[in-house]
Structure 1
């Protein structure tokens, strides 16, 4: 086996380039990569970009970051590996009161942090207050806005101790909501709702999430972190359900380049890749193999327009650019994957939700001759940017430049609104339209266009107070129609996430959101093909 250092060295030098057709000289195999199960209970994951942080209140929400958060931290509930429905985790049961305006969670006795201290209801109170404290700068704070007073706290209008969450005793958590929230148990699986250790943060400050300092309550603990090289986790000795965790350790390798991912996978140096890191031109050939998979289309690629920068502050300019995009050509000809043209922001598939009718966007205004299309340095983002550059030049006579950057640098840029037009991607965090629509509910961290629309916010506020599901969805559809008619964003296509997975790796189940809790993953050494 190649050592980690040798593997990286070979990749940099280009000596480990294995073409897709390398297997032509040997007997055909139904699998793309090596299939011999490993001797040890260790999985190696091609985890895409280096995480911004291992602190759940600092991460941007890339799939690789979510995998790590799920491995290291456990919430009130945990995702079912296939259906994503909420399973009991730190909470053994829960009930709602007052038409789902209040939730009561009964916590698991004996749950502990990795330093052996009890994990109690007070840890959730501390953690949710910390996430909403504006000084924390949590990119996902808006997902907590369902809690009473959460938004006002995050906007520095109320102190954190006014949050509608309390711990009547160590094993009881009482949560007051802003309005009826029947799907809150599903929300509570999301990473920003998982508790963080007050004792480690008090002791180490911002460095609490480094190896040697980090305390976790999940199925795994952090063993090593070499930035841009490897993050290694090992099975926790204090986890309440340790006897059912079958992996001894896992290595997360931050590999963005699609060719590197398939080369390492084919050579047996990776066991699974997160979705969306395979080379688009090779997807048609990869589909013939049994270890190629794709998850549901719950991701929307779209254009973010910087609505606070002239002339993109004018809806007519945004509309002109949006209407010129050849979506069907982009999805079918260039992407070569599991993509369908998108005319709505919320993907289809949410039970009971019907998106808006085709919008009537503002009148057209010619865009500037020169501007910049920004994208992350990954696929298919680079391809999308290049296609848009060509289409807009051909159809509108403009000459946009393209700028690609490493993912975290790109996200930092669009977060501070330092761009013209950006190729953006959003995958739903839970099965409700608000996981998409809440992005633009005021100056939230994910409102990259900096689009502020009082009528849109009013519709979302009314939907939060609406207890009838049908009327609530109708209000959300009206909000989505407003978003699209103002062309704050321009949906491009809905897509699934393609990945490679060894046939002996069990528990890494296909699901709509490509979320894979590591506690359910195991190696089947009896697999024989």
Structure 2
């Protein structure tokens, strides 16, 4: 991306933020002393900490601190050395050789190139059932292996020796090195995994290679991370411990923060009905986030089998009212699925500024009613089938669901039911298609529009709406076939336009990252891909 490309959104996204403070007897100690941090960022039990199965931001927060991939990502989204201290890229961009540093697993085993080869092929193995397997389709024969059309030893990843990993790609992929920092591409210890299939389910069996160890996992209660003294960069890790209590309600989290029991928190500890006032008072810090909030329509479930009906429900949403009167966190109404702040690497400006308006901020009630009537006529329905909105248990999601429920009643004269589920159960419902309309949020796996668009290809493991469009698939394939940014961006813009015409997903707003924090924690970095990095944070005296 050109250094000339800037905007207030981009600047906000790369801000390094200082937060958190020690609690209890550790408060006020100098940076060289034992330091303990308590963060309110986890709502409920993380669904899965196995890199091959991790797919949500809560599990991902923990994974990024206990595991490490070939690369890390800096605050601007660019790759930096991780377990690989350097890499070489061939002239055609299709072959990458990673050179690994000396690193250890928490059980004392060396981290080897073979661990990465095993981990990546395990993700691609259809028996693993990884929803993120498609992120390794960039490898030569990766997709073919996943679909049973090639053997594992034909996949383009090979451990030449313990310190050298050769990767061969199907096509040049400009963001592949950045992608190696994502949790799906993190290594696992082959010996440990093959000995115990449930190795990642408990702290006492978990083996990791990151900056912190999984010291305690009290299910449905809390996770405790402790500094990994064998981490290759341990000298720069100042925190001795990170406490992550599971906080079911934001009001409870807020009370804990005010009582000094929590030192830092995101929306997990910020009551939804207080968000606007707390931002105005300066108690909550808010920066733009490279993420989108939306409702997905299951295109295999009536009435959303009909495109016009999907469009009608999307047009009946008042996005401006939702961000101003409900969310109140500084969010901006969505103009498309790819959020504000994502760069168009060819136009050298914000992605949203490089395409037409797909969605209007206010409801278009009359046009929505007309489309609904046309859709029902096409289906031969005199009465619309019952509609239910699914959302995961959270006060903020509940308020948005209630607001949209009212909008659909007012603008479409449709009565809608609401159904909430605990996070792990909710994810399972979405993946099995047990929904009609479901709330959905997406943060980037790497900084490129592709991460918001390839998830809706026909065979993607993240395609919960069961959407399928051959023209869309072809455009995504075209964008993945070249490193020419002009060709890539043009194809991706055309793909997003089709997505907004077919409307399997109704974008609502671009996120903001909202936090409450104490004053004496330094060097915690909020990164452009939406994750928070505590690895090199330290505490100063209050």
**Same fold by TM-score greater than 0.5:** yes
Pair 512,293 (structure 1): closer, same or farther in 2 beyond 3 Å: farther
SS state at 1:509 partner: strand
Q: Which residue of 1 aligns with 2:48?
A: 53
Q: Verify the 8 A CA contact 2:54 2:183 in the aligned structure 1.
A: no
Q: How does 1:273-352 map to 2 (within 5 A)?
A: 273-275=265-267, 277-288=269-280, 292-352=284-344
- Measure the CA separation in 2 of the matches of 1:291 and 1:235: 30
> Which residue does 1:457 correspond to in 2?
473
Q: CA deviation at 1:105?
A: 1.1
1:108-123 to structure 2, matched below 5 A, reads 108=101, 110-123=102-115
- Aligned match of 1:198: 190
Work out whether residues 286 and 329 of structure 2, in 8 Å CA contact, stay in contact via their aligned partners in 1: no
Distance 2:20 2:517 in 1: 10
Taking the TM superposition and a 5 Å limit, the aligned residue runs for 1:174-253 are 174-253=166-245
Match of 2:485 in 1: 469
Give yes or no for contact 1:105–1:173 (8 Å, CA) kept in 2. yes
Is 1:441 aligned to residue 435 of structure 2?
A: no
Post-superposition shift, 1:284? Answer: 2.3
Q: Is the 8 A contact 2:69 2:186 kept in 1?
A: yes
Deviations 1:462-501 (A, max 9, x none): 1111221111100011011111101111111111121212
Aligned match for 1:85, one of 73, 78, 83: 78
Q: Is the aligned partner of 1:398 residue 2:422?
A: no
Q: Is the 8 A contact 2:524 2:536 kept in 1?
A: yes
Aligned to 1:97: 90
Query: Do the aligned partners of 2:100 and 2:112 also contact (CA within 8 Å) in 1?
Result: yes
Distance 1:69 1:99 in 2: 33
Counterpart in 2 of 1:364? 371
Contact map agreement 2:23 2:262 (CA 8 A) in 1: no
1-structure distance, mates of 2:506, 2:221: 35
1:83 Cα offset (Å): 2.5
Q: Which structure exhibits the higher relative contact order, with contacts defined as CA atoms closer than 8 Å and separated by 6 or more residues?
A: 2
Q: Is the 8 A contact 1:306 1:313 kept in 2?
A: yes
- SS, match of residue 192 in structure 1: helix
- What's the counterpart of residue 147 of structure 2? 155
| Correspondent of 1:264 among 256, 260, 280 | 256
Contact 1:350 1:432 in 2 (8 A): yes
* Aligned counterparts of 2:423 and 2:484: Cα–Cα separation in 1: 40
Whether 2:128 is the aligned partner of 1:129: answer no
Matched residue SS, 1:364: helix
Partner of 1:382: 398
Matches of 2:526 and 2:283, distance apart in 1: 12
Q: Is the 8 A contact 2:23 2:261 kept in 1?
A: no
Closer, same or farther: CA 422–382 of 1 in aligned 2, 3 Å: same
Cα distance, 1:32 vs structure 2: 12
Q: Is the 8 A contact 1:180 1:466 kept in 2?
A: yes
**Cα distance in 1, alignment partners of residues 414 and 282 from structure 2:** 44
What residue in structure 2 maps to residue 43 of structure 1?
Answer: 37
TM-score, normalisation: structure 1 = 0.88
**What per-residue deviation string (whole Å, max 9, x for no partner) do you get for residues 215-257 of structure 1?**
1111111111111111112111321122221111111112141
With over 3 angstroms needed to count, the CA separation of the structure-2 counterparts of 1:374 and 1:303, relative to structure 1, is same
What is the CA–CA distance in structure 1 between the aligned matches of 2:114 and 2:23, rounded to whole Å? 46
Cα distance in 2, alignment partners of residues 32 and 263 from structure 1: 16
TM superposition shift of 1:290: 5.3
Please give the root-mean-square deviation of Cα atoms over the aligned residues, in Å.
2.3
Asked if structure 1 preserves the Cα contact closer than 8 Å seen for 2:21 and 2:519, the reply is no
Tell me, yes or no, if the aligned pair for 1:463 and 1:475 is still in contact at 8 Å: yes
Runs of 4+ in 1 over 6 A off after TM superposition: 31-36, 360-363
Cα distance in 2 between the residues matched to 1:250 and 1:65: 15
Structure 2 CA distance for aligned equivalents of residues 35 and 54 of structure 1: 27
1:275, distance to aligned residue in structure 2 (A): 4.6
Tell whether 2:72 aligns with 1:73: no
Q: Is the 8 A contact 1:384 1:423 kept in 2?
A: no
Gaps of 5+ in 1: 1-30
Q: Which residue of 1 aligns with 2:535?
A: 519
The verdict on how the C-alpha distance between 1:160 and 1:384 changes in structure 2, with shifts beyond 3 A counting, is farther
SS of 1:247 mapped into structure 2: coil
Give the TM-score normalised by structure 2.
Answer: 0.86
Partner residue in 2 for 1:485: 501
